[in-house]
Structure 1
Amino acid sequence: MRPPRMLRQLMQRRSVLFSALLLLAIAVLAVGAPVLAGADPNEMAVLQRLQAPSAEHLLGTDELGRDVYARVVHGARHSLAIAALTALGAVLAGSALGLLAGFLRRLDAPLMRVVDAMLSFPDILLAIALVAVLGPSPRNTVLALVLVYTPRVARVVRASTLVLRELLFVEAVRALGVRSTRILWRHILPNLTSPILVQLSFIFACALLAEAGLSFLGVGVPPDIPTWGSMVAGSQQYAHQAFWVVLFPGLAIIFSALALQLLGDGVRDLLDPRLQKAA
């Protein structure tokens, strides 16, 4: 299916269109944060602490008098960057492992045993352990989350590769003496577009929530870097007297994750021929 046609069909779905527009708006805020924020997210004004939303402070102020709107906008930049890098890294590493395990029989057992061992740990506990070892920083948070989510992608890609490897067109090119690397790159990888894209959107949303969870537990990004998770974590004790300090970053996390999931579902429904036939 050609990309322009696929894009038109995607935009015909209301849920996908809404999700795409919401993600676009959040991305614009993240990219234009230095201009759109209107204030320094770390500038403190203790005399203006816990002020309700007003014309001066659109989303109010937090316990240190910092502008919540500015922090939410700058938090979008950091939170989305961590989630995007995590999704990209996990998909690249997981796809490579899954292709090798599914196509090369001698590598299947050892690679999958490592993957199974990593999948035996709960995601958040493994991420906490890795960040505790590496140290709290955005780079180490991304690295830890990539290691957590890579096995998920590897499992999905391996399962699809095992099916594609036995199809007639792959057997035909192998009989012609085509090298394995060329078969993987030209014949198998293009047919994995649908599951990889779905995993990309799924991990993007999961990484967004995981980063918020790590920051909430105090083992993720340092407090001086505004992220949605660290905002919720730092202001939770004041929520009973100033609900806006946790409401707005919490809504940002929820709507971003929901939009990513809806967009991923739309891409999956469009690229999966079985779902098209059922429709």
Structure 2
Amino acid sequence: MMLTSLTMPYAAGLKRLFGNRAILLGAIILAIVVLAAILAPWVAPYAPNKLSIVNKLKAPSWSHFFGTDEFGRDIFSRAIFAGRASLLVSLGVVVISTVLGIILGVAAGYFRRLDAPISRLLDAMMSFPDILLAIALVAALGPSLPTVILALGITYAPRLARIVRGSTLVLRELPYIEAAIAMGLPTWQILTRHVLLNLASPILVQATFVFASAMLAEASLSFLGVGVSTDMPTWGTMLASGREYMNNAPWLMVFPGLAIVFSVLSLQLLGDGLRDLVDPRLAKES
């Protein structure tokens, strides 16, 4: 009886989670993209950088599902391997921006003396367009995979920091936080047990949007030639090289573009679904 009562909330939570169509559809699309990237060496019919000049600019066919580029490389294989770079960069950006956002947001929201200087720093960073700030940081650090991840992580950290700061300001005034302070509990214990645990839901939701934004930003940087090394196939570099042949070989841009669209769409659907799921007002209505 006790086991049944304990498992009922989890069963109800799973039912709500998978009953949300946006989350389900987004999860399915993202799972396909992730699995294709992980299993790229076995899924891709050709090596991503294999040259075949005699097959250059071939239209989609049974031998080359997405056609070939100006060097005869298989677009389908390159698109699958390019997903690895995009997912790796986006995941690294989410980790860095989340860590920085939590540190800055909690410090600004919980420690009143730090609120003003940290808020001004966040305002200054957010006053620049994301892509311009990322380009400036990459130019200063040098274009490479680690610097792109670091630059985009710093660029998107203020988004998460703002969310964390606002939530921390609300949590700090709640009675149980004030009671913990009055009881003399260590600050680190209050932050870890009472503040951070209650910030998990908004951070998770915002992280999905940062993931999507980072994927678009990485493609933009690669398209502009200031992203990762050109030796590594990315959707952005594929779009950049295909624009010269857009009229004669449109598949060079169509398929990498669709890969970006579906990947970002899946993350946006996940983010919207999770936001609706954790919204307290929706929880009350259900």
TM-score tier (shorter): over 0.9
What does 1:251-270 align with in structure 2 at a 5 Å threshold?
251-270=258-277
Question: In the TM superposition, what whole-angstrom CA distance separates every residue of 1:117-140 from its partner, at most 9, and x where no partner exists?
Answer: 111111010011111111111111
Identity, % of aligned positions: 52
Amino acid at match of 1:43: K
Once residues 9 and 105 of structure 2 are traced to their aligned partners in structure 1, the CA distance between those partners, rounded to angstroms, is 26
Report SS of the residue matched to 2:24.
helix
Report SS of the residue matched to 1:241.
coil
The Cα of 1:273 is off from its aligned counterpart by: 1.0
Once residues 239 and 285 of structure 2 are traced to their aligned partners in structure 1, the CA distance between those partners, rounded to angstroms, is 43
1:158 corresponds to which residue? 165
2:42 counterpart (35, 48, 66):
35
2:174 counterpart (138, 162, 167):
167
Once residues 281 and 187 of structure 2 are traced to their aligned partners in structure 1, the CA distance between those partners, rounded to angstroms, is 28
Once residues 152 and 123 of structure 2 are traced to their aligned partners in structure 1, the CA distance between those partners, rounded to angstroms, is 17
Is residue 191 from structure 1 mapped to residue 198 from structure 2 by the alignment? yes
1:237 corresponds to which residue? 244
Gap change, CA 1:2 and 1:206, over 3 Å in 2 = farther
The Cα of 1:2 is off from its aligned counterpart by: 5.8
Once residues 51 and 207 of structure 2 are traced to their aligned partners in structure 1, the CA distance between those partners, rounded to angstroms, is 38
Once residues 79 and 71 of structure 1 are traced to their aligned partners in structure 2, the CA distance between those partners, rounded to angstroms, is 12
Question: In the TM superposition, what whole-angstrom CA distance separates every residue of 1:228-247 from its partner, at most 9, and x where no partner exists?
Answer: 11111111111111111111
The Cα of 1:267 is off from its aligned counterpart by: 1.1
2:55 corresponds to which residue? 48
The Cα of 1:4 is off from its aligned counterpart by: 5.5
> Contact 2:22/2:272 (CA < 8 Å) preserved in 1?
no
Is residue 224 from structure 1 mapped to residue 231 from structure 2 by the alignment? yes
Once residues 168 and 105 of structure 1 are traced to their aligned partners in structure 2, the CA distance between those partners, rounded to angstroms, is 18
Give the paired residue count.
279
The Cα of 1:100 is off from its aligned counterpart by: 1.0
The Cα of 1:8 is off from its aligned counterpart by: 2.9
> Contact 1:91/1:199 (CA < 8 Å) preserved in 2?
no
Once residues 203 and 140 of structure 2 are traced to their aligned partners in structure 1, the CA distance between those partners, rounded to angstroms, is 30
Is residue 128 from structure 1 mapped to residue 140 from structure 2 by the alignment? no
Gap change, CA 1:55 and 1:39, over 3 Å in 2 = same
Question: In the TM superposition, what whole-angstrom CA distance separates every residue of 1:45-82 from its partner, at most 9, and x where no partner exists?
Answer: 11111101111111110111100001000001111110
Question: In the TM superposition, what whole-angstrom CA distance separates every residue of 1:204-247 from its partner, at most 9, and x where no partner exists?
Answer: 00000000111111111121110111111111111111111111
Once residues 162 and 258 of structure 2 are traced to their aligned partners in structure 1, the CA distance between those partners, rounded to angstroms, is 32
Is residue 61 from structure 1 mapped to residue 68 from structure 2 by the alignment? yes
The Cα of 1:39 is off from its aligned counterpart by: 1.1
Q: Which ranges in structure 1 are unaligned for 5 or more consecutive residues? A: none
Runs of 4+ in structure 1 over 6 Å off: none
Is residue 275 from structure 1 mapped to residue 282 from structure 2 by the alignment? yes
- Between stretches 67-76 and 11-20, larger displacement belongs to 11-20
1:182 corresponds to which residue? 189
What does 1:74-113 align with in structure 2 at a 5 Å threshold?
74-113=81-120
Report SS of the residue matched to 1:262.
helix
Once residues 111 and 235 of structure 1 are traced to their aligned partners in structure 2, the CA distance between those partners, rounded to angstroms, is 43
The Cα of 1:92 is off from its aligned counterpart by: 1.5
Gap change, CA 1:5 and 1:278, over 3 Å in 2 = closer
The Cα of 1:277 is off from its aligned counterpart by: 2.6
The Cα of 1:88 is off from its aligned counterpart by: 1.6
Amino acid at match of 2:65: L
Once residues 199 and 92 of structure 1 are traced to their aligned partners in structure 2, the CA distance between those partners, rounded to angstroms, is 13
Q: Which ranges in structure 2 are unaligned for 5 or more consecutive residues? A: 1-7
TM-score, with normalisation over the residues of structure 1? 0.97
TM-score, with normalisation over the residues of structure 2? 0.94
